[in-house]
Structure 1
Amino acid sequence: MKITKLFKDFLESEKIGGFLLILCTIISLIFANSIFSSEYIHIWHNDIGGKPLEYWINDGLMAIFFLLIGLELEREIYIGELSNFKKASLPIFAAIGGMIVPAALYLFLNYGTETQSGAGIPMATDIAFALGILSLLGNKVPTSLKVFLTALAVIDDLGAILVIAIFYTKDLDFFNLSIALGIFGFLLILNRLKVRNLIPYLVLGVFMWYFMLNSGVHATITGVLLAFAIPFGNGDKKSTSYLLQNALHKPVTWIILPLFALANTAITINSDWHYALTHHYTIGIALGLIVGKPIGISLFSYLSVKNKFCKLPEDLNWKTIIGVSFLGGIGFTMSIFITLLAFSDSEHITNSKIMILVSSIIAALIGLLYLKSTLKKDCLEDVLNDD
C-alpha cells in the first residue's frame, strides 16, 4: 500500500506527540505529589485576565488544537482516506462501534444518576498516544493498520466534536451564537470568493471564538468551523489549508498538547486513591475504554465486512484488528477534555482523570502485547510460507 509523504509526516508528528504527552503526564504527576505540590498546582490556577491559566489552556489554546484536527479531517475528506466511501467505510463503521458500545456500557451503570453526563468520556481515542504506542512495534506494523488506526481516530475525533457540540452545550445565548455563526458565514463567503490570504480568516476566527465562548457552545468548536472555512484548493503545498496545517503541527505537538497534559494531570494522589476506582462512573469509564472500545471496534468492523459493506485490507486480519481496537481504548487527551465539560464537581473530575490514566495505560499495554505477539506469529508464518 502506497503511503504519501504528508501521511508519513503526520504519523511522525503524532508519534512524537504521543511520547511527549506521556513524558509530560509523568512529570506533572511527580510534581503534583512532591514537596512542591501546592506551588506546582497553584501555577495552573494563577489569575490571568480574571480567569485561571488552566482555563485559557482548555478554552483558548485547545481551540487551536481543534483547528488542526479540523484541517486534518478536511484533508482526509477531500483527498485522503475518507475521500470515498469504499476507502472510508471500514474505519467509519469501526469508529461508530467504538463510540456506541463504550457509551452504552457507561450508561448501563450510570443512567439516571448525577454522573450520566460522563457517557462521552470513554467514547474518545487519543490519536497521538495510540500512534505513539503502535510505533513501538517498529517496521512489523503493516501500513494498512497505521492508516486504519489513523482514520479511525480522526473519525472518532469528529464524533467527539459532535458530542461536545450537541450534549455539552450549556444555556444558549442566541445573540452571541448568532454573531459567531454570522462570522462563520462571512468566512465561507470569503472562501467562495477565493480569498487565499490567511490573515482575515485568523483575525475573524479570533472574534468568532470570543462570541462562541460567550454563547454557551464550547469555544473549541470554533477551531473546527474555522478549519472548514479556510480554502482547501487542490490541497497541494501552496494551498492555504496546507500552509496553515503545516505551520500548526509543531506548536500543537510541542507546546499546546504538552501544556494541556501538564495542567490537567496535576493530580494529587492520596494513599486511598484506589477508592476513586470503585464509583459507578469510574467503573463505567474503565469498562468503556478497556472493554467497550475493543468490542465496539472489532464487532462493528466484522459485521460491516460480513455484510459486504466494506472489505478488509489484504495485509490485515481479524487478530490485528482486535489488537489495534485495544489501542482505540487510549482515551487520554480527548477523554480528559470531555471530563472537564461533563462534570463540575472537582472530586468527580479528579477521580475520572485517575481512571482515564489507569484505563489508557491498561488498554495500551494489552494492545501492545497482543499486537506484538500477533505480528510476530504473522511474520513467522510468512517466512515458513516463503520456504
Structure 2
Amino acid sequence: MKSTAKVINKTLKAFFDNEAASGILLIVIAVLAMIVANSPLAHEYHDLFHGTLAWTPIAKLDNLHLWINDGLMAVFFFVVGLEIKREVADGALSDPSARRLPVIAAAMGMAVPAVVFLSVIAGEGAPELTRGWAIPAATDIAFAMGVMGLLGNRVPSSLRLFLLTVAIVDDIGAVAIIAVFYTVNLKLMWLIVSLLVLAVMIGLNRFRVDRWWAYAILSLVLWYAVLNSGVHATIAGVLAALTIPMRLDARGDSLLLRFEHGLLPWNAYFVVPLFGFANAGVAMAGIGLAGFLDPLPLGIAAGLVIGKQVGIMAAIFAAEKLKLAPKPDDATWAQIWGTAVLCGIGFTMSLFIGALAFPGYPHLIEEAKLGVLGGSLISALLGYAILRFAKGVPEDEDDDDLARPVTNPA
C-alpha cells in the first residue's frame, strides 16, 4: 500500500509541476461541465450554482455562482495583479525594448477580434449584441501555455516568453475594459470608501510595512467596498495586488513573491477550475449544434480564431518591417503563426466578460459560452497542429544569427 501511495504521490507531483498541467485540467473541466450540463444531472448542476442560498453573509451574493464570479475570482485577479506588477517592475515588461513587440501585438490582438466580432453581428438588428465586443479580446494564460507545454522543446523559449507577455498585456487590457465598459450604477459613497482603503494600503507600502495579514484584511475590506460601489468586485483584486511590497528582504524574498508563490497553486488548481466548471456548462437543449452559426457565438469564435491571429501576425510583421521591434529570436514565421493562433484561446477571461456583457439575457450568456468554447477549442487544436509540424530554425542558421542581425526568411 505504501509503495502504491508513493507512486500516486510522485505521479501527482509530476503532473502539477508540469507546465501543461493547468491547461490540461482546464480542458478536462470544460468537457466535464458540458457533459454534466447536458446529462440527467443538468437540473442539479443548474441549481447547485444558481439556486438561492438558504443563508448568505452578503445579500448581493445570494447564490454560489455569484460567490465564485464576484468573490472567488477576486483571488484570480489578485494573482493577475501580482504577476503584472512583478513583470512591469522586474520582468519581461520592465525593459522598454523587450516589451515593445508584445505590447504592440497584444493591442492589435485585442482590437482586430473586436472588429471581426462587430462585423459578424452587423446588420442583425440586435443592438444588445454589441456589448459582447470584448469577449474575444483576451488570451487565457494557463490554457495557452498548457497547450504549448505539451509540445516540449519543439517551441523555442523566445516564443514561450512572447506568448506569456502578450497574455499578461491582454490581462491588463481586459481589466481596464471591465473597469471602464462593464461598470454600471456607480455609488459615490462606496467609491470614496474604496479609494480611502486603497490609499491606506499604499501608505502601508510607503511606510515599509510588510505584515501579510494587514494587506490581507485590507484587501477583503477593499473587495467589499468595490463590490458595493458599482465597479466589478474583481477589480479590487488587481488594485490590492498593486499595493503589495516588492522590496527584497535579507533572504532575497519579498511579500509579493510570497503571496504569489502561495496563491498560484490555489489559483491554477482550484479557483480557475471551479470557475470553469461553474461557467462552461452550456445546455444545448434549444440551441443545438446549429447554434454555433448564430451571430453571437459565430462572432465570438471568429474573433478568437481569425481576429487574434490576424491582429498579432499583422503587428509582428509590421513591427519587423518598420524596424519598431524584431520578431522573436530563433523562431520561424510558421512557429510564430502557431503561437498567434494559440492566443485565440480565450476561456477564463472570455467566459468572465461574457457573463458581464449580457445581464438580464441568460440565453445570450449561454450563446456567448458556446462561442468562447468553440473558438478556444479550434484555436487550441489548430495552434497545436501548426507548432507540432512547423520546422524550426536550422542549427547552422542559429550559429550564423549570433554573428549577424536576424533577417526575415525568404
Tell me if TM exceeds 0.5: yes
Q: SS at the partner of 1:229?
A: coil
Q: Is the 8 A contact 1:68 1:248 kept in 2?
A: yes
Match of 2:268 in 1: 253
Match of 2:196 in 1: 182
Match of 1:369 in 2: 385
CA distance in 2, matches of 1:241, 1:385: 37
Match for 1:95: what amino acid? A
Q: Label 1:42 to 1:314 Cα distance change in 2 as closer, same or farther (>3 A).
A: same
CA distance in 2, matches of 1:221, 1:151: 20
Query: Percent identity over the alignment?
Result: 39
Match of 2:84 in 1: 73
Match of 1:99 in 2: 110
CA distance in 2, matches of 1:360, 1:333: 10
Q: Is the 8 A contact 2:162 2:328 kept in 1?
A: no
Cα deviation for residue 384 of structure 1 reads: 10
CA distance in 2, matches of 1:341, 1:271: 22
Work out whether 1:337 is the aligned partner of 2:352: yes
Q: SS at the partner of 1:114?
A: helix
Q: SS at the partner of 1:270?
A: coil
Q: Label 1:13 to 1:151 Cα distance change in 2 as closer, same or farther (>3 A).
A: farther
Q: Which moved more, 1:311-320 or 1:86-95?
A: 311-320
> Quick one: which of 256, 259, 269 aligns to 1:244?
259
Work out whether 1:150 is the aligned partner of 2:164: yes
Q: Is the 8 A contact 1:94 1:296 kept in 2?
A: yes
Q: SS at the partner of 1:115?
A: helix
Match of 1:6 in 2: none
Q: Is the 8 A contact 1:44 1:263 kept in 2?
A: yes
Q: Choose 1 or 2 for highest CA Rg.
A: 2
Unaligned 5+ segments in structure 1 are 1-8
Match for 2:283: what amino acid? T
Q: SS at the partner of 1:293?
A: helix
CA distance in 2, matches of 1:217, 1:39: 31
Work out whether 1:355 is the aligned partner of 2:366: no
CA distance in 2, matches of 1:370, 1:217: 40
Instruction: Tell me the TM-score normalized by structure 1.
Output: 0.92
Match of 1:294 in 2: 309
> Quick one: which of 190, 199, 205 aligns to 1:191?
205
Q: Which moved more, 1:28-37 or 1:363-372?
A: 28-37
Match for 2:257: what amino acid? Y
Match of 1:17 in 2: 22
Match of 2:10 in 1: none
Cα deviation for residue 385 of structure 1 reads: 9.7
Cα deviation for residue 310 of structure 1 reads: 1.3
More helix by share: 1
Q: Label 1:271 to 1:210 Cα distance change in 2 as closer, same or farther (>3 A).
A: closer
Cα deviation for residue 267 of structure 1 reads: 2.0
Cα deviation for residue 23 of structure 1 reads: 1.1
Match of 1:278 in 2: 293
CA distance in 2, matches of 1:109, 1:142: 35
Cα deviation for residue 105 of structure 1 reads: 1.4
CA distance in 2, matches of 1:255, 1:120: 26
CA distance in 1, matches of 2:146, 2:329: 24
Cα deviation for residue 383 of structure 1 reads: 8.2
Q: Is the 8 A contact 1:21 1:258 kept in 2?
A: yes
Instruction: Tell me the TM-score normalized by structure 2.
Output: 0.87
1:206-231, CA deviations, whole angstroms, 9 ceiling, x for partnerless residues? 11111101111000000100111010
> Quick one: which of 226, 235, 240 aligns to 1:212?
226
Match of 1:163 in 2: 177
RMSD of aligned C-alpha atoms? 2.1
Match of 1:304 in 2: 319
Cα deviation for residue 312 of structure 1 reads: 2.1
CA distance in 1, matches of 2:183, 2:299: 22
1:229-264, CA deviations, whole angstroms, 9 ceiling, x for partnerless residues? 010114975200000000001111121111101111
Summarize the alignment of residues 128-147 of structure 1 with structure 2, pairs less than 5 Å apart. 128-147=142-161
Unaligned 5+ segments in structure 2 are 1-13, 400-410
Match for 1:115: what amino acid? L
Work out whether 1:35 is the aligned partner of 2:40: yes
CA distance in 2, matches of 1:293, 1:164: 19
Match of 2:407 in 1: none
Q: Is the 8 A contact 2:20 2:145 kept in 1?
A: yes
